[in-house]
Amino acid sequence: MQKNEIFNTKNMVRLALVAAIYVALTLLIGSLGYGPIQFRVSEALVLLAFYRKDYSAALIIGCFIANLFSPFGLYDIVFGTLATAVAVIPMYYMKNIYIASLLPVVSNGLIVGFEQKLCGEPFWFSAGTVALSEVIIICIIGTALFKLLERNGFLMKNLIGSTKAQKNKKPA
């Protein structure tokens, strides 16, 4: 991906929409998106970073904005956003979506678990419940959704803007 492609209007709108959808989905579920037991459905979007590295910025910004509304305040703004950054930045360089889907499980489990410990919750309980929700949302639902989208090269190329799926796909 070249610099002029990143900063063209179509791509900037695509990235802004991803950030906005992440925020909207997080706020839509209210308190389920925050805390030691959370089920943040917007996390399925992190797999976009597997297909295009510039989605990492949109997802980090979306997470940051969503965490501005967190009842855990500055802790969630800092640690929640850090957990997303740690997960999505290396994701594009992974060869397998199933392995890439484990990055947010580990980063959110450990980092958000630590954040929750700072807020008075037990570390291992928080780390476990956050990691479990990430497994359900990203590893199971998210990968199934994106594998389904991979079957339609038109959607992957035009909606998501990815050519990665087609490069990795073996001819039939």
> pTM higher than 0.95 for the full model?
no
Is the pLDDT at 171 greater than 70? The verdict is no
Class of domain 3-163: mainly alpha
Return d(Cα 109, Cα 34) in angstroms, integer: 13
Average pLDDT of 17-27? 96
Q: pLDDT tens digits for 87-100?
A: 999 999 999 999 99
Q: pLDDT tens digits for 57-68?
A: 999 999 999 999
Is the pLDDT at 15 greater than 50? The verdict is yes
In the chain, where the domains are located: 3-163
